[in-house]
Chains A and B, each alone.
Chain A
Amino acid sequence: QQPVQSPQAVILREGEDAVINCSSSKALYSVHWYRQKHGEAPVFLMILLKGGEQKGHDKISASFNEKKQQSSLYLTASQLSYSGTYFCGTGGGGSNYKLTFGKGTLLTVNP
């Protein structure tokens, strides 16, 4: 089941904040966040695991509500380099890395 991301697109000015949401209709074991710039491969941002463990790069924060089967990615004080499409990928039992990706959220940061 494909997770649902919202919003589909968001436009920010540099320095503004944004939240991208990801929800699933089935139980989640892990949520992965990626950013993909046009014409490039997706790049890992963060993994959130059932039980509360989080691993990721600095300056990116996210939450994972297991009960609600939702995750949110928080982008604060956005920079031009944050522009791209953000995907959440959800992992099921058996393999955290066999991922089902959402449709993506296009983030545009303007000067």
Chain B
Amino acid sequence: SAVISQKPSRDICQRGTSLTIQCQVDSQVTMMFWYRQQPGQSLTLIATANQGSEATYESGFVIDKFPISRPNLTFSTLTVSNMSPEDSSIYLCSVEALGLAGGYNEQFFGPGTRLTVL
């Protein structure tokens, strides 16, 4: 299993500023992902954070807007740059790790960061 913490848990930011969200896992994992979830909506994959190389972004998301770092196998950051009110959302990191019952991998999610942009 994997226990994930995120910082900050919530923030209110001004338009045009940037916010960096941290994701810490209690064990080494290969696969880490960043998702966005608008209130009451589905989860949308932003990118896969790769250790030692650039992140892999999904269609509609670009590195200049959402730069990601992955310095080691337990930590990643997502920056939301030059924010606008449309960026208001919940940002979640997730990892693939051995399931609680063993024998298979599950995807574990962090508690999320609730971002409001004014």
Whether B111 contacts A40 by the Cβ 8 Å rule is yes
Partner of B99, one of A44, A96, A98, A101: A44
Task: Kindly list chain B residues whose C-beta atoms are within 8 Å of the C-beta of A89.
Answer: 43, 107
Task: Kindly list chain A residues whose C-beta atoms are within 8 Å of the C-beta of B48.
Answer: 95, 98
Per-residue CB contact flags for chain B residues 60-96 toward chain A (1 = under 8 Å, else 0) read: 0000000000000000000000000000000010001
Whether B42 contacts A57 by the Cβ 8 Å rule is no
Interface size of B by Cβ–Cβ distance < 8 Å? 23
Whether B107 contacts A87 by the Cβ 8 Å rule is no
Within 8 A of B (CB), among A43-102: 43-44, 47, 55, 57, 87, 89, 95-102
23 contacts between A and B (CB under 8 A): A40-B111, A41-B109, A42-B43, A42-B109, A44-B99, A44-B107, A47-B105, A47-B106, A55-B103, A55-B104, A57-B100, A87-B42, A87-B43, A89-B43, A95-B31, A96-B105, A97-B96, A98-B33, A98-B48, A100-B45, A101-B43, A103-B42, A104-B42
